[in-house]
């Protein structure tokens, strides 16, 4: 008897699984960035930031990270709405990382690469299905 849902081995394979795992990683990075911005301002070279209110950006990064982790659930369920939300939030995350590239370049570039991989994986996943 089929339920219309993909089985577990099918659900955690291919581009959907890749994109889901990458968005969990990016969400974790953004959560860490947000916590660091709120807790320890000395982790950031504030003269390299394009914005001055570090607490505001800490909360923005926390929200983006939380949405990314929750979006991963939709992506693992192969939801088209989850894929669209994942692409949108990856673009927002990439913009946030770009604005912080002067403060912590290696970390920001890593987040930019992961966000690019998320966008690639989600566009491939929806194109294949």
The reply to whether 100 falls in a domain is yes
Q: What is the pLDDT along the chain (129 residues), one digit of tens a residue?
A: 455 665 655 656 688 898 899 899 889 988 988 898 888 766 666 665 656 677 887 888 899 899 999 999 999 998 899 999 999 998 988 888 888 787 778 888 988 998 899 899 999 887 776
Is 57 domain-assigned? Answer: yes
Q: Tokens at residue 11, please? A: 């659900």
9 domain residue, yes or no: no
Instruction: Tell me, yes or no, whether 114 lies in a domain.
Output: yes
Number of structural domains found in the chain: 1
DSSP H or E run through 79: none
Residue 90, in any domain of the structure:
yes
Which residue in 38, 85, 86 sits closest to 59, CA to CA?
38
The answer to whether residue 84 sits within a structural domain is yes
Containing structural domain, residue 91: 26-128
In this structure, what token pair is assigned to residue 57?
Answer: 């950006």
Q: Is residue 14 part of a domain?
A: no
Taking the C-alpha atoms of residue 4 and residue 31, their distance in angstroms, rounded to an integer, is: 34
- How far apart are alpha carbons 30 and 118 in whole angstroms? 14
Residue 21 lies in a domain: no
**Global pTM exceeds 0.85:** no
């Amino acid at each position: 008897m089929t339920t219309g849902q993909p089985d577990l081995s099918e659900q955690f394979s291919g581009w959907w699984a890749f994109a889901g795992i990458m968005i969990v990683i990016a969400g974790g990075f953004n959560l860490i960035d947000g916590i660091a911005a709120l807790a320890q301002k000395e982790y950031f070279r504030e003269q390299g930031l394009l914005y001055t209110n570090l607490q505001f950006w800490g909360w923005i990064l926390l929200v983006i990270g939380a949405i990314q982790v929750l979006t991963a659930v939709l992506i693992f369920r192969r939801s088209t709405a989850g894929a669209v939300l994942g692409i949108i939030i990856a673009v927002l995350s990439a913009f946030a990382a770009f604005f912080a590239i002067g403060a912590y370049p290696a970390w920001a570039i890593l987040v930019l690469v992961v966000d690019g991989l998320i966008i690639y994986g989600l566009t491939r996943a929806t194109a294949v299905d």
